[in-house]
Amino acid sequence: MKVYHARNTRSLRVLWLLEELGLPYEVEIFDLGAPEMRSDAYRKVHPMGRVPALEDGDVVVHESGAIIEYVLARHGQGRLRPAVEEAEFPAYLQWLHYAEGMMMPQVNLIMVETRFLPPEKQNPVNLARAQKLLAKSLDAVESGLAGKAYLAGAFSGADIMTGHACHAAASLGIDLSALPETAAYVDRLRARPAFVAALAR
């Protein structure tokens, strides 16, 4: 398998999953926004010129959530996801999709407003709204973690998706001090050897 990756993006999720599963892969690293990402050659891999993208033989998949589901279904051998009949399966599905539905739109907006736009183009109203909505979405994670180390029982693909979103929020300076379960969760995830290895790639 080959992963197209850029640092500080969702493509970290894919590297993390492959490291957790111990699957061999190669990685092509772009600088975010590099002209190579907009080349005709790369647009044949990802039509939007974005990351992540995964090549697995003749199969090409993009969108991090789809890649996570694909790899677990094709190569996971039952690991990192509960079986459909297990009690944890509904929670697994919920948290697998929660990151992109609720958290990452706000993370993206905060990143654009604070890191990509020059000060004269930043919109404090947009920033404040995104921060408020992200805080509410983190409150739900805090509740979801009550009495649990991970979101769907054992560590799973749901933690790679929503856990990465929590990591991204913390990396943007979002204060987790009032969310002790979430703060401890982020620390736990960051300490996983596979997460450390993915960052090193």
Q: What is the pLDDT of residue 188?
A: 98
Rounded percentage of the chain residues whose pLDDT exceeds 70: 100
More confident residue, 163 or 33: 163
Residue 102 scores a pLDDT above 90: yes
**pLDDT score of 67:** 98
pTM, two decimal places: 0.96
Q: Tens digits of per-residue pLDDT, 103-159? A: 999 999 999 999 989 999 999 999 999 999 999 999 999 999 999 999 999 999 999
Burial of 19 (0-12, 13-18, 19+ CB in 10 A): buried
Residue 33 has pLDDT above 90, yes or no: no
Q: Once rounded to an integer, what is the mean pLDDT over residues 164-184?
A: 96
Domains for the chain: give ranges and CATH numbers: 2-80 (3.40.30.10), 89-192 (1.20.1050.10)
DSSP string, 99-131: IIIIIHHHHHHHHIIIIIS-GGG--HHHHHHHH
Name the more confident of 157 and 201.
157
High-pLDDT (> 90) share of the chain, %: 98
Average pLDDT, rounded, for the chain:
97
pLDDT tens-digit profile of 63-90? 999 999 999 999 999 999 999 999 999 9
The C-alpha angle with vertex 114 and arms to 108 and 116, in degrees rounded to 5, equals: 75
